[in-house]
């Protein structure tokens, strides 16, 4: 099994390491590669510093070595680096290898005409059939998973995840590998679209949840936060359905489950709080939280994509009021309370109206 990581990868291995497998992890940064080979401890993440990588993992800076004879590949890079990383690995990738994506985001190409979910990007760049591609979703905040393995006295933090693929056989193969007794239970889904759309958008709504917790004080404003998460789930489902997903899948672990977790903890949640505390976007991305923030990147991509869709069809009725208010809050100086007012004061309507069927033709 190969695990591919770009620099600043958010979730290096998700705490998942099949005990009977030979694993090769590709590391781009030479300093990090040398440190991992020497100490077998990841120095950049506090949660990892109590974890020593097991002996069945080999670290390499060579893509040829990482992918040589690999039957399975774990793709774990920030979404903004996904296309470039796939271009790098394409010459070394065997078409018989199956790949699972841990990436939570979208890709919008540089000429501004094509929008991809990450599994679509993998298929395009590597020339793979869709049946060889899967994605992992669900409430899998890596610090919680790692707590089960950290130090002499691990903390019990079990969780559930979902492996999604259009191929039931591929999903089952990864399900069997993404399982750890007492720690991680995995389910199978055939709805890749829902898993990827929800996995990306939940980071956006987490920014608003973190801002709300900071603005109203954590533990207060409970009514609003519950309303935010519920309506965000509806909005998330509305967009996912437009891309061909099932609403039922949105209410599963990869949708609402991941949304609840991410709106309670994690980088994107902390980023919302940092913005309320007075930090600007540049400070949050470079200083306050010096890691890739998928929520910010997803907002940028969604803004560009929605602009393209509305340019192609000026009559398009695609309503994502929470997401668009978050974009203005993050990038355009909209005050948090004014954004909330805008959403609260929208025209009255049914909670669960029968939305006209909307299907987006992306590319």
Q: What would the mean pLDDT of 141-165 be, rounded to a whole number? A: 86
Compute the C-alpha angle 27/33/37, nearest 5°: 125
Is 23 within 8 Å of 1 (Cβ atoms)?
yes
Domain ranges (residues) in the chain: 2-138, 194-344
Out of 14-28, 112-126, 191-205, 344-358, pick the least confident: 14-28
Residue 161 pLDDT > 80: yes
Tens of pLDDT along 210-235?
A: 999 999 876 678 899 999 999 999 99
- Work out the pLDDT band at 143, boundaries 50, 70, 90: confident
User: 74, 70, 55, 64: which is closest to 16 by C-alpha?
Assistant: 74
State the number of CA atoms in the 13 A half-sphere of 288 facing the CB: 20
As a whole-number percent, the residues of the chain with pLDDT over 90 amount to 59
| Amino acid 180: pLDDT | 76
Out of 112-121, 171-180, 230-239, 322-331, pick the least confident: 171-180
Report the CATH fold assignment for 2-138.
Rossmann fold (3.40.50)
Q: What would the mean pLDDT of 64-81 be, rounded to a whole number? A: 90
- Angle at which helices 321-331 and 192-216 cross, to 10°: 60
Residue 186 pLDDT > 90: yes
| Amino acid 317: pLDDT | 80
Dihedral sign from CA coordinates of 180, 193, 254, 13: positive
Beta bridge partners of 163: 136, 188
Q: What would the mean pLDDT of 161-173 be, rounded to a whole number? A: 96
CA 211/CA 301 separation, integer angstroms: 21
| Amino acid 134: pLDDT | 97
**Set 14, 202, 335, 362: catalytic member:** 202
CATH number of 194-344: 1.10.1040.10
Identify whether 202 is a catalytic site residue: yes
As a whole-number percent, the residues of the chain with pLDDT over 70 amount to 88
73-99 as b/e: b if 16+ CB within 10 A: bbbbbbbbbbbebbebbeebbeeebbb
Is 82 within 8 Å of 103 (Cβ atoms)?
yes
Is 29 within 8 Å of 100 (Cβ atoms)?
no
| Amino acid 13: pLDDT | 42
| Amino acid 354: pLDDT | 57
The better pLDDT of the pair 5, 273 is held by 273
- Work out the pLDDT band at 129, boundaries 50, 70, 90: very high
Compute the C-alpha angle 257/150/147, nearest 5°: 15
Tens of pLDDT along 257-292?
A: 999 999 999 999 999 999 999 998 988 988 765 567
Q: How far is CA 240 from the centre of its chain?
A: 15
Query: What pTM value is reported for the model?
Result: 0.90
């Amino acid at each position: 099994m190969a695990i591919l990581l770009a620099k600043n990868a958010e979730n290096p291995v998700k705490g998942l390491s099949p005990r009977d497998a030979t694993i090769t992890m590709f590391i781009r940064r030479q300093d990090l590669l040398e440190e991992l080979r020497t100490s077998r401890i990841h120095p950049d993440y506090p949660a990892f510093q109590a974890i020593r990588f097991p002996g069945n993992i080999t670290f390499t800076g060579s893509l040829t070595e990482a992918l040589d004879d690999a039957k399975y590949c774990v793709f774990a890079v920030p979404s903004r680096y996904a296309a470039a990383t796939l271009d790098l690995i394409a010459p070394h990738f065997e078409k018989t290898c199956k790949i699972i994506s841990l990436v939570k985001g979208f890709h919008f190409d540089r000429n501004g005409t094509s929008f991809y979910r990450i599994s679509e990007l993998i298929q395009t760049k590597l020339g793979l059939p869709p049946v060889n591609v899967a994605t992992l979703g669900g409430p899998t905040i890596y610090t919680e998973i790692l707590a089960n393995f950290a130090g002499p006295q691990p903390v019990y933090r079990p969780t559930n995840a979902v492996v999604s693929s259009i191929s039931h056989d591929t999903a089952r193969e990864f399900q069997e590998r993404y399982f750890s007794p007492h720690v991680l239970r995995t389910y199978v889904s055939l709805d890749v679209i829902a898993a990827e759309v929800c996995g990306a958008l939940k980071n956006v709504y987490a920014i608003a949840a973190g801002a709300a917790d900071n603005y109203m004080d954590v533990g207060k404003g409970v009514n609003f936060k519950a309303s935010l998460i519920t309506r965000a789930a509806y909005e998330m489902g509305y967009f996912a359905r437009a891309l061909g997903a099932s609403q039922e899948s949105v209410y599963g672990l990869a949708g609402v489950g991941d949304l609840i977790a991410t709106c309670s903890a994690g980088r994107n949640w902390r980023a919302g709080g940092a913005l309320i505390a007075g930090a600007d976007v540049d400070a949050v991305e470079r200083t306050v939280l010096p890691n890739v923030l998928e929520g910010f990147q997803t907002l940028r991509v969604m803004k560009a994509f929605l602009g393209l869709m509305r340019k192609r069809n000026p009559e398009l009725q695609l309503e994502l009021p929470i997401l668009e208010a978050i974009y203005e809050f993050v990038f355009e100086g909209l005050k948090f309370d004014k954004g909330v007012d805008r959403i609260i004061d929208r025209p009255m309507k049914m909670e669960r109206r029968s939305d006209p069927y909307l299907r987006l033709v992306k590319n």
